[in-house]
Amino acid sequence: MSVDQPVPHHEFVILGAGVAGIYQLYRLLQLDADVLVLEAHADLGGTWYQNRYPGCRFDSESYTYGYSFSEELLQEWDWTEHFSPQPETLRYLNHVVDKFDLRKHMQFDSRVATATFDEATDGWHLQLEDGRELTCHVLITAIGLISAPTMPSFEGMDSFRGPSFHTYDWPHEPLDLTGKKVAVIGTGATGVQLIGAIAADVAELHVFQRRPNWCAPLHNRSISPEEMAELKASYDAIFEACAQTPGGFLHGPDRRKFAEVPPAERRAFWEELYASPGFAIWLGNFREVLMDEEANAEFSEFVADKIRRRVDDPEVAERLIPKDHGFGVQRVPMETGYYEAFNLPHVHLVDLMETPIERITPSGVRTTERDYDVDVIVYATGFDAVTGAFDRIDFIGPGGRHLRDKWHLGPSTYLGVQTAGFPNLVMVAGPQGASVSTNYPRAIEFAVDWNTGLLEHAARRGFRRIEVTPEAEAEWVEHVKELYGMLLLRNAKSWFTGYNSNVEGHDIKRWLIYNGGAPRYRKRLGEIAADGYRGFVFH
Ligand code: NAP
C-alpha cells in the first residue's frame, strides 16, 4: 500500500461468509456498526458454496437448520426435502443475504494470510494473500470447522492423467461421471454420501477404504406443500424442542436406563430408530450407548447385523463393519443406499488395511496387490478439522506470539470465544465451544448473540481491549477434557479427538469439542455474562 493510499479500516472485520459469518454480519449491522466480511472463496456460503460433490446434503432436519431470527424469513422459505441438498442450502443462504441486503458488506476472493495485533492501536492489521492490507479494531473469525481439506501424500499423485481432486474442490462446472471408471478414496460422511449418489451411474467404482465407519440410513424424503405449511406453523415448537436437546437437534437421548429395559424391548426400540430419519439412531438412543462399553457393543452388533443383511457378499459385509471402534464414537455417516451400492456388479471395495495404496500412477491407483485403472480419482480424505482453518492464517498476537505455535499441541480457549494472549480476536464456533458439536445454526445463533453482547458490553463502557485471562482459559480446558472423559468418543481416532493421519502432529489426542451439550453450555455462558463477563479482562 503506498503512502497516499491509506489502509482501509473497519471497526469489525469478520472472516468468512458462511452460516456463522452471515448472521454475525446481520447482528452487527443491526447495531449500526462499521463491519466488513472477508471471504476467501469467490462467493458466499462457506461449506455450502464449496462442497459440490454429488449427494452432498446436511443431516439436520432442514427446518432445524434455517436461521430462526426472522419470522418473515421462516414463513417465506420453503424447504423441499427433509434433509436439504447442497444446491438448495446455498440458494437459501443467498436468499438470506439478498433479503437483508448483506452482500454489499462482503468482499470475496479475500484470503487473509497474516493477522497481526498492533499494540499502539489495539487493533488488527490484516495482510491478504493478494497483497492488500486492512486494519480493524475487532477481528471475528467465522472460518468454519470443516473448511481446511487435507490430501493424502501418496507418491505420484501429480502424475495421474485424468481429473483428480478433493471432494471440497469438486469442480463447479458440470462433471458427468456417467460411464466413467471412478476411484473414491475415503469412507467418512463425505465419501459415504458420494458413493451412494454415484454408484448406479458410473461404469465402474472402486471404493478404497482404510477404516470403515458405522453408517445408518438417512431416510430422506421430499416435503409436500401441505407438510411445509404445517412446519411453518410449528416453528416455535421446533426451535423450542431443539433448545432442549444436548445436540440442538430434534433428537434427544432416551432417558430410560439401558440395563432396565428388557432385551426384547431394546431391540424393538432399535428397530424403530433404524427406520427413523436423521440422527435419531445416534442422538435419540440410550445414553449408555455412547458412554458404556457394554451397551455400545450390544448396539454395534445390532447395526452390524443390519449391514450383513443389506450386503449380499458376506466377505464384503464383514469388511464394511468397523472392528476398531463401536457405533457412534466417530461421526456417524448418514447414508442413502450406501450398503446396497456394494451389491452392484461394477462396485468394488478395496480394503486398504489388507492391501495399502503404494502410489498413484498415470492411469490410476496401485495397491500392494495390483493396479486399478480409472478415469477419475476423488479424494474424500477429510479435513484438518476445527483448528486447520486457524492454522492456515498466521495470527500474531502481542509480543510476536503466533497462534499456531500456541496451539501446536492442541487448541486452548475460554468458552470457544477467545484465546488468551490474543486481544480483540473473537471466535464464532471456536475450538472447545458448543457450536463444534451441535446442530450448527442453532448453536451459531446463540454464539453470535452472546459474542455481540460481549462486544456491546465493552463498547458501552469505552473499553478498547477485550481479552481472557490464562487462568479462566486453563479452567475451561480442564472442563472440556473432563467432559471427553465421560464419553466413549474419547478413544476415537477421528476429528472429534483431533486425529488426522495426513497432518503432521495430528496423530495425538487434541481437545477440539465441548461435549457438555448445548443447554449446559448456554447456561454457563449466561451466568458468565450476568457476572460481568467473568474471565474476561477489559481495558
Ligand atoms: P472424515 O470423516 O475425516 O473421513 C475421511 C476418510 O478418508 C476416512 O475414511 C479416512 O480413513 C480416509 N482417509 C484419510 N486419509 C487417508 C489416506 N491417506 N489413505 C486412505 N484413506 C484415508 O472426512 P469427511 O468424510 O470429509 O467428513 C468430515 C466431517 O465433515 C464429517 O465428520 C462431518 O462432520 C462433516 N460432513 C457432514 C456432512 C453432513 O452434514 N451430512 C457430510 C459430509 C461431511 P481413516 O478413518 O482410516 O482415517
3-state SS assignment for residue 271: helix
Give the helix, strand, coil percentages of the chain, each rounded to 5.
35, 20, 45
Confidence at residue 12, expressed as pLDDT on a 0 to 100 scale: 98
* Residue to substitute in 501, 502, 506, 513 for testing ligand 1 pocket (most ligand atoms within 8 angstroms of CB): 501
Ligand 1 atom with minimal separation from the 382 CA = 23
Say if ligand 1 is within 6 A of residue 187 CB.
yes
Q: Kindly give the distance from the C-alpha atom of residue 344 to the centroid of ligand 1, in angstroms, as a whole number.
A: 23
Distance between CA atoms of residues 269 and 281, nearest Å: 10
DSSP 103: G
Say if ligand 1 is within 6 A of residue 220 CB.
no
Q: Kindly give the distance from the C-alpha atom of residue 146 to the centroid of ligand 1, in angstroms, as a whole number.
A: 10
With beta carbons less than 8 A apart as the criterion, state whether 422 and 402 touch.
Answer: no
Q: Kindly give the distance from the C-alpha atom of residue 526 to the centroid of ligand 1, in angstroms, as a whole number.
A: 34
Name the residue with the closest Cα to ligand 1, atom 41. 58
C-alpha cell at position 306: 443390519
Q: Kindly give the distance from the C-alpha atom of residue 270 to the centroid of ligand 1, in angstroms, as a whole number.
A: 26
Say if ligand 1 is within 6 A of residue 381 CB.
yes
Say if ligand 1 is within 6 A of residue 59 CB.
yes
Ligand 1 atom with minimal separation from the 352 CA = 20
Q: Rounded to an integer, what is the distance from CA 75 to the centroid of its chain?
A: 27
- Residue 42's alpha-carbon distances to 109, 141, 259, in angstroms, are 5, 18, 53
Distance between CA atoms of residues 202 and 178, nearest Å: 5
Q: Kindly give the distance from the C-alpha atom of residue 186 to the centroid of ligand 1, in angstroms, as a whole number.
A: 6
- The distance between the two most distant Cα atoms of the chain, rounded to a whole number of Å, is 79
End-to-end CA distance of the chain: 31
* Residue to substitute in 169, 331, 349 for testing ligand 1 pocket (most ligand atoms within 8 angstroms of CB): 331
* Residue to substitute in 83, 150, 190, 219 for testing ligand 1 pocket (most ligand atoms within 8 angstroms of CB): 190
- In 3D space, the residue among 38, 4, 19, 26 whose CA is nearest the CA of residue 124 turns out to be 38
- In 3D space, the residue among 314, 439, 420, 421 whose CA is nearest the CA of residue 429 turns out to be 439
Say if ligand 1 is within 6 A of residue 62 CB.
no
Name the residue with the closest Cα to ligand 1, atom 20. 210
Ligand 1 atom with minimal separation from the 191 CA = 25
A 10 A CB-CB count for 31 gives 12
Ligand 1 atom with minimal separation from the 57 CA = 41
Say if ligand 1 is within 6 A of residue 190 CB.
yes
Say if ligand 1 is within 6 A of residue 331 CB.
yes
Q: Kindly give the distance from the C-alpha atom of residue 384 to the centroid of ligand 1, in angstroms, as a whole number.
A: 10
**CB contact burial 446-465 (16+ within 10 A = b; e otherwise):** bbbebbbebbebbbeeeeeb
| Total-model pTM | 0.97
Name the residue with the closest Cα to ligand 1, atom 3. 382
Phi and psi, residue 228, nearest 5°: -65, -40
- Dump the DSSP string for 511-533: -----S-HHHHHHHHHHHHHTTS
Mean pLDDT per 10-residue segment, the chain (539 residues): 78 98 98 98 98 98 98 98 98 98 98 98 98 98 97 98 98 95 98 98 98 98 98 98 97 96 97 98 98 98 98 98 97 98 98 98 98 98 98 98 97 98 97 93 97 97 97 98 96 94 93 96 98 98
Classify residue 439 as exposed, middle or buried by CB count within 10 Å of its CB (0-12, 13-18, 19+): buried
- Dump the DSSP string for 272-313: HHHTSSTTHHHHSSBTHHHH-HHHHHHHHHHHHHHHHHH-SS
Q: Kindly give the distance from the C-alpha atom of residue 189 to the centroid of ligand 1, in angstroms, as a whole number.
A: 6
Confidence at residue 3, expressed as pLDDT on a 0 to 100 scale: 55
Q: What is the dihedral of CA 384, 507, 495, 244, to 10 degrees?
A: -130
Ligand 1 atom with minimal separation from the 379 CA = 7
Q: Kindly give the distance from the C-alpha atom of residue 538 to the centroid of ligand 1, in angstroms, as a whole number.
A: 41
H helices then E strands: how many in the chain? 19, 20
* Residue to substitute in 47, 53, 90, 146 for testing ligand 1 pocket (most ligand atoms within 8 angstroms of CB): 146
- Dump the DSSP string for 385-403: TTTHHHHTSEEE-GGG-BH
